[in-house]
A and B are shown apart, each in its own frame.
Chain A
Amino acid sequence: MSTWRKLLRDPQAAVTGSILILIFAAGLSTPLLAQHGPNESDLSMVNAPAGTPGYLLGADESGRDILSRLLHSINTSAVSALIGTGVALAVGVSAGLVGGYFGARTRAIAEWAFNLVMTFPGLLLLILLMPVTGGDYRYTMLIFGVLLSPGIYRIVRNLVLGVKNELYVDAARVSGLGNARILGRHVLSVVRGPIIIAAAFMMGASIATQSGLAFLGVGSKEIPSFGDMISSGFRNLYVAPTQFLWPSLLLGLITASLVLLGNALRDTLAGSRPQPAKVGQGQRAEVTPQPPAAADPEALLEIRDLTIAYPGPGGQPREVVRGATLAIHRGQTVGLVGESGSGKTQTAFAVLGVLPDEAVVTRGSIVFEGRELIGLSDSEMRPLRGKQIAYVPQEPMSNLDPSYTVGAQLVEGVRSALGISKSEAKTRVLALLERCGIADPERTFDSYPHQLSGGMAQRVLIAGAVASRPKLLIADEPTTALDVTVQAEILDLLRDLQAELNMAVLLVTHNFGVVADICERIAVMERGQIVESGDVLEVLRGPRHEYTRMLLDSILDHTAPIREASR
């Protein structure tokens, strides 16, 4: 499995995993390695130094073989880890599955019970219960497992709540699967990764707690344990300093390895977090910018031979845009049409200078008002972006910050674009909101994004985009997430604003109807190449390229004959 291979390749996981395997394997082979019993004392060997024949690491204050005691302590800690973690998992996972999956009442009961458990003072409780457990560390660990379980319960419950509403769980329910089967097959597989990670940490906690209790001298003295050994080593610190060293070293190694392994597991299983985009560098380009030669004098924006590549799976660059050429004149609306993966959004992003970090412009040029954009740094791009070139995204909601009011966000944008005072900006924003068809601008100004409908949110974003009277507006599927009736209104708004401000619009869309409604020119993109471009009427009525024809044929016609009733 690739997950295993990934884990093996991760040095942290590989090293800590090997250390743990080595240590616990040594523990398992105690009968072979240990020459003495753990509690077998020989008074002639009291505080024997390391290297004494038969006593490789020496003997302790009671003349017991330190090596043998170490090996037995490994087993004690292994058993502690297994019991503690096992109980925590059994209780936490089953309660989490039930509490997350079933109704609110079940969840409330489970929640209450685990909150109660969490209020118990852990270590103190374990010591107080010693008379009940009879000093046996296994019973202590059992109780400790219960004390650990709320953490697991919370992880599992939250994951299950998230998965419960996934469509595939609904589909399983519709397929007639019982709850037990859905929980076992569909839900458990999702919570597996996080549980494995948490288990690694809990094992460390169990071992540390068991040793801690033994160090305090609580519990049976018969059981060899790191804590007990460290405590005895402490007492003999001035007589035989190394006695204290061995158990501390081993305990530290085990718990540290478990924690580091847990971290490595998290990185591998939970997927490494996406690298934060580096700000300030601008997009990467591997072209030597050439002076714009023989440029179209009318063009506001001219894209020539643009090629954008991403690193592919085998290290080979994978080109997502291949030699795209496109020109937009002042005040012109151009539709860039293509199916998903055709590279239309990448082309738009390249103009804005916001390509992701791993993307590289390998060829071509983008000239805006006679200035080459490729190779510009972020700070050189900033005066253009949001002022000369504005952007309207597809998902209006995810492009508004939920924790600020709409007004605050718009004012901030307008101020940074135009450098005007706060009150001026507010007046301006209110006027813009009204212009963009918002009935009650004052109220919308003070609203938070979640209080707006999708159409309203898109109007707000358009208002923000045109605030600086940009020369070019790039709209990436601006109406795809909206209802058709709202889409029609938004297109009307864009059309009116475009005429009013005489701005050019690059409209990225997959919908030929939208292009027909608002665009003068059209460019059709297929797998990174612009296969056909021209006047909208000409292209839509007489497509020359096969791909354009295929797309136009796929449109479900409003006038074509439809299915007859089959009955």
Chain B
Amino acid sequence: MTGPLLDITDLRVAFRPRGFRARPLEVLHGVSLQVGAGETLGLVGESGSGKTTIGRTVLGLVRASGGSVRFEGREIGGLGARQRRALAKDIQVVFQDPYSSLNPSMTIGDILTEPLVVQGATAREARTRVRTLLDQVGLPSDAADRLPREFSGGQRQRIAIARAIAPEPKLIVCDEPVSALDLSTQARVLDLFIDIQRRTGAAYLFISHDLAVVRHISHRVAVLYRGELVETGPAATVTSTPEHPYTRRLLLAAPVADPIEQRKRREARRQLTPHPTT
């Protein structure tokens, strides 16, 4: 197959606010991006930029009001429930919050077998697969009998990753998967993502507000600002010598862990934007 795995062109999404005759509020104003097979596209933006909405549209959780979303050349924007369910094998998700993304009343084993059984695996096959999956994400196999609350944030995120890779998808939408984690855990979970991509060849649409995280994991980076893409390019270019002023501001706003370096950054940032408090 030629062409990108995921091809989004001129995507528009509008939400209808509550209230009689309220005007729809457009949050994405025509976004186009592509993710190739086995590639990681980092999608960076601040809160309200619409980055999560892009991910949810790809997952079929939000309906687009315009534009197209193509997966392997096939339009998936307006699929019916049944066809959408069939797509679950190919497109998976890891959410931000490892606490609310796992059902607190189900054991890890049940959480992991459920999608497999739905895809048609027998209970026995599913159980074997769960053991492999837990091993792949670095969790002990006795984890299957335990409940989510017995695990730390980082471990829960590993469980969410195991659930995502269970049907061997071609694309995983990662919506801020490490931003709720501690610094040291964050680095380890990112390495797990990279390791899994190497082994399974899954592509990632990696959504984050943190330029450093995106730089670490992405091949290419797209920067979103108020519902529009302002810059797209190779990760190295976008995250170190960005062209767009907004990306530059984003880069300089993230503090570095060295007082002298940080002072230089602060000066550079102040020159870029007039200081609002003075």
Most buried by A among B103, B190, B266, B269: B103
CB–CB A172/B36 < 8 A? no
Chain A, residues 137-149, CB within 8 Å of chain B (1/0): the string is 0000000000000
Instruction: Answer yes or no: A491 CB below 8 A from chain B CBs.
Output: yes
**A371 in the interface (beta carbon within 8 A):** no
Once the chains are docked, how many angstroms separate the CA of A174 from the CA of B169?
Answer: 11
> Would B277 and A492 count as touching, CB distance under 8 A?
yes
Q: How many residues of B contact A (CB 8 A)?
A: 81
Do B36 and A517 touch (CB < 8 A)? no
Q: Establish whether residues B46 and A511, one from each chain, have CB atoms under 8 Å apart when the complex forms.
A: no
Q: Evaluate contact between A340 and B182: CB separation under 8 angstroms.
A: yes
A513 touches B183 (CB 8 A): no
Interface of chain B residues 216 through 259 with chain A (CB within 8 A) = 216-220, 234-236, 239-240, 249-259
Could you count the A-B residue pairs with CB atoms below 8 Å apart for me: how many are there?
Answer: 193
State which residues 247-280 of A face B: CB under 8 Å.
none
Q: Are B61 and A166 in contact (CB under 8 A)?
A: no
**Selected interface stretch from B26-34, B83-91, B137-145:** B83-91
Provide the residues of chain B in CB contact with A339, threshold 8 Å: 182-185
Of A175, A436, A562, which is within 8 A of B216 by CB? A562
User: Would A485 and B46 count as touching, CB distance under 8 A?
Assistant: yes
* Given contacts A483-B47, A496-B277, A562-B235, A175 and B258 within 8 Å (CB-CB): no
- Please, which residues of chain B bring their CB within 8 A of the CB of A517? 255, 259, 262, 266
Any B CB within 8 A of the CB of A550: yes
Checking B115, B250, B259 against A536 with a beta-carbon cut-off of 8 angstroms, the contacting residue is: B259
A513 to B249, CA, bound (A): 16
- Interface pair A454/B47, CB less than 8 Å apart: yes
B105: CB under 8 A from chain A?
Answer: yes
Q: Inside 8 A of B92's CB, which chain A residues have their CB?
A: 174-175
Q: Is A166's CB under 8 angstroms from B255's CB? A: no
Quick one: closest A residue to B89, CB to CB?
A176
Assess the A554–B114 pair: CB atoms within 8 A.
Answer: no
Contact present for A174 and B209 (CB under 8 Å): no
From A86-94, A108-116, A178-186, A409-417, give the one contacting chain B. Answer: A178-186
CB-based contact A516/B258 at 8 Å: yes
Interfacial chain B residues near A512, Cβ < 8 Å: 257
The chain A residue with its CB closest to the CB of B99 is A167
Instruction: Decide if A33 is an interface residue (CB 8 Å cutoff).
Output: no
User: In the docked arrangement, what's the CA distance between A106 and B186, Å?
Assistant: 43
Which residues of B have CB within 8 Å of A161? none
Q: Which residues of A contact B186 (CB under 8 A)?
A: 554, 556
CB distance from B104 to the nearest CB of A (A): 8
B38 & A566 in contact (Cβ 8 Å cutoff): yes
* Interface of chain A: mostly helix, strand, loop or mixed: helix
With A174-B59, A488-B253, A516-B255 known as contacts, the answer to whether A558 contacts B101 (CB < 8 A) is no
Docked-complex contact A189 and B59, CB < 8 angstroms: no
Contact A513 B118 (CB under 8 A): no
Query: Once the chains bind, are A550 and B184 in contact (CB under 8 Å)?
Result: yes
A493 touches B183 (CB 8 A): no
Contact call A558/B215, Cβ cutoff below 8 A: yes
Interface: B130 (CB within 8 A): no
Structural contact, B100 and A167, CB atoms closer than 8 A: yes
* A540 interfacial contact with B, CB 8 Å: yes
A214 to B36, CA, bound (A): 75
CB of B76 closer than 8 Å to a CB of A: no
Complex Cα distance A492/B250, Å? 15
| Chain B residues close to A by CB (< 8 Å) | 36-40, 46-47, 59-61, 81, 85-89, 91-93, 95-97, 100-103, 105-106, 114-115, 118-119, 153, 160, 163, 167, 182-187, 190, 194, 197-198, 209-213, 215-220, 234-236, 239-240, 249-262, 266, 269, 275-277
Task: Give 7 pairs: A residue, B residue, CB < 8 Å, sorted on A.
Answer: A167-B100, A170-B61, A485-B253, A513-B256, A513-B257, A556-B216, A558-B239
By Cβ-Cβ distance, the 5 closest A-B pairs, closest first, are A176-B88, A513-B255, A175-B115, A512-B257, A167-B101
